[in-house]
């Protein structure tokens, strides 16, 4: 404790607060939002259509894009459109945000939690192979932190077992695996998040991307109350028909034009934002070398990491624990986070799906030492140096 207090003493020089993440919102974003507000069409309308078209175009490969008000909504609609329902099971990695699994429970289906690989923190397909049951209908692949899953392996695993594939790409924009951008692979659906802390943001928002026109059509219907046509179609033209039908008890998951206007501008910056984050990550690798920590795995050759997160794992043998390190960084006004406490350790998931010690050995070991260091576009070299200096002082 004495030692921790010494470490946690306030710095002599004021380096300013370093947040864990900060979105880039420039003049163009602000002007785009104001323009929508002035246009008097503020909910789902022309900006959403434009954002969907530009997003699909950006990914290429003939995908369709369906904008929604969160990635959680998108994952829910994707799973619903894949026909997941009561009696089905879906394979989900335990190291993810709870929404990846919750949406399966919304549909009355069961989750089969699976451990991750020690180096990449991607789903462990060998364990999935052992846990699969005849009731399994789909697998969720999470591109954790922006590290691209091995999509060739995921897709062949799914084909072998007759499973649908839904990618949780909340962290993965832009991300490439073996030369192909995530979102353009042959999964059934791939879902991006535009939450405030994600690689691009609309405040709240998400995008479902699919090559399957039936999945796209079902998602479009279900994001808007199960109506056969959306409000924009109904009200756009003076004299347009009022008629619409309800074909299912749908949800209220549509994106607003205010959010889409933000998204259109952010999408223009997508490569610049990634390049800036990548630079921060490279700087961390140089500054953190030789410490008793695991740094995130870089993307394999021919692939590209989104560098949404920079999660590290403090080794068991280090002279301070993860909690001590967080306390020291907090004392120096450096923001951190933990991505994630694995689902199987959370009350709801633990009670629903009891497990034995050793079932998720990799995720448990990772979580015991895990913390996420600040990483955001425009983070300066001096800020990275500052974070690394505290980490070094605590651990070296
Ligand atoms: C943020 C996140 C989500 C949910 O995204 P929202 O847009 O906030 O609903 C889902 N999965 C993962 C892995 C996430 O990080």
Q: How far apart are CA 266 and CA 54, in angstroms?
A: 11
Spatial CB neighbours of 201, under 8 Å, sequence gap ≥ 6? 23, 25, 194, 195, 262, 266
pTM metric for this prediction: 0.94
Spatial CB neighbours of 239, under 8 Å, sequence gap ≥ 6? none
**CB of 170 sitting under 6 A from ligand 1:** yes
Biggest CA-to-CA distance, the chain: 76
Q: How far apart are CA 339 and CA 336, in angstroms?
A: 10
CATH architecture of 27-268: 3-Layer(aba) Sandwich (3.40)
**Do 38 and 176 meet the contact criterion of CB atoms below 8 Å apart?**
no
Q: Whose CA is nearest to atom 8 of ligand 1?
A: 195
Fold designation for 2-6+270-395 = 3.90.1150
pLDDT tens for each residue of 182-223: 999 999 999 999 999 999 999 999 999 999 999 999 999 999
DSSP, collapsed to helix, strand or coil, labels residue 161 as: helix
- Measured in whole angstroms, the distance separating CA 31 from the mean position of its chain's CA atoms is 27
pLDDT-derived band at 8, boundaries 50, 70, 90 = very low
Report pLDDT for 228: 82
DSSP, collapsed to helix, strand or coil, labels residue 163 as: coil
Report pLDDT for 16: 80
CA 93 to ligand 1 centroid distance, Å: 14
CA 193 to ligand 1 centroid distance, Å: 6
DSSP, collapsed to helix, strand or coil, labels residue 14 as: coil
Mean pLDDT value across residues 85-89: 98
pLDDT-derived band at 274, boundaries 50, 70, 90 = very high
Give buried/exposed letters for 267-301 (b at 16+ CB in 10 A, else e). bebbeebbebbbbbbebbeebbeebebbbbbbbee
pLDDT-derived band at 236, boundaries 50, 70, 90 = low
- In this model, does residue 4 exceed pLDDT 50? no
27-268 shares the fold of 2-6+270-395: no
Taking Cα atoms as reference points, which of 209, 172, 220 lies closest to residue 187? 209
Q: How many residues does the chain have?
A: 396
Q: What percent of the chain has pLDDT over 70?
A: 93
Name the catalytic one among 47, 137, 164, 198: 198
pLDDT-derived band at 233, boundaries 50, 70, 90 = low
DSSP-derived secondary structure letter, 300: P
Residue 17 a catalytic site member: no
pLDDT tens for each residue of 312-329: 999 999 999 999 999 999
**């929404």: which residue's tokens?**
99
DSSP, collapsed to helix, strand or coil, labels residue 363 as: helix
Could you state, in order of their start, the residue ranges of all structural domains in the chain?
2-6+270-395, 27-268
Higher-pLDDT residue of 5, 128: 128
Mean pLDDT value across residues 92-97: 98
pLDDT tens for each residue of 11-23: 445 568 999 999 9
* Paired residues of 320 in beta bridges: none
**CB of 96 sitting under 6 A from ligand 1:** yes
Report pLDDT for 240: 67
Mean pLDDT value across residues 330-356: 98
């Amino acid at each position: 404790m004495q030692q921790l207090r010494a470490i946690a003493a306030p710095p002599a020089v004021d380096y300013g607060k370093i947040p864990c993440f900060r979105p880039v919102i420039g003049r163009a974003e602000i002007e785009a939002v104001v323009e929508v507000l002035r246009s008097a069409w503020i909910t789902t309308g022309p900006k959403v259509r434009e954002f969907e078209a530009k997003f699909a175009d950006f990914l290429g490969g003939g995908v369709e894009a369906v904008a929604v008000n969160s990635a959680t909504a998108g994952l829910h609609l994707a799973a619903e459109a894949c026909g997941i329902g009561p009696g089905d099971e879906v394979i989900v990695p335990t190291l993810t945000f709870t929404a990846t699994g919750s949406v399966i429970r919304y549909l009355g289906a069961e989750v089969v939690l699976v451990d991750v690989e020690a180096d990449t923190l991607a789903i462990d397909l060998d364990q999935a192979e052992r846990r699969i049951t005849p009731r399994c209908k789909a697998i969720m692949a999470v591109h954790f932190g922006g590290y691209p899953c091995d999509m060739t392996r995921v897709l062949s695993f799914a084909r072998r077992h007759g499973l649908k594939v839904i990618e949780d790409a909340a962290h993965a924009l832009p991300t490439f695996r073996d030369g192909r951008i995530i979102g353009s692979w042959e999964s059934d659906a791939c879902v991006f998040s535009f939450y405030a802390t994600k690689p691009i943001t609309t405040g709240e928002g998400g995008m479902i991307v699919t090559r399957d026109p039936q999945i796209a059509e079902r998602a479009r219907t279900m994001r808007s109350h199960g109506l056969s046509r959306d409000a924009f179609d109904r009200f756009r033209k003076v004299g347009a028909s009022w008629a619409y039908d309800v074909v299912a008890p749908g949800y209220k998951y549509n994106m607003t034009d205010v959010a889409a206007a933000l998204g259109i501008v952010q999408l223009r910056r997508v490569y610049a934002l990634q390049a800036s984050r990548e630079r921060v990550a490279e700087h961390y690798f140089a500054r953190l070398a030789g410490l008793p920590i695991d740094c995130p795995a870089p993307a394999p050759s021919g692939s590209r990491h989104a560098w949404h997160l920079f999660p590290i794992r403090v080794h068991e043998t280090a002279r301070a624990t993860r909690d001590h390190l967080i306390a020291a960084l907090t004392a120096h006004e450096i923001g951190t986070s933990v991505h994630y406490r694995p689902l199987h350790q959370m009350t709801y998931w633990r009670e629903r799906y009891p497990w034995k010690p050793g079932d998720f050995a990799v995720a448990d070991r990772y979580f015991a030492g895990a913390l996420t260091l600040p990483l955001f576009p425009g983070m300066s070299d001096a800020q990275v140096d500052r974070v690394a200096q505290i980490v070094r002082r605590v651990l070296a």
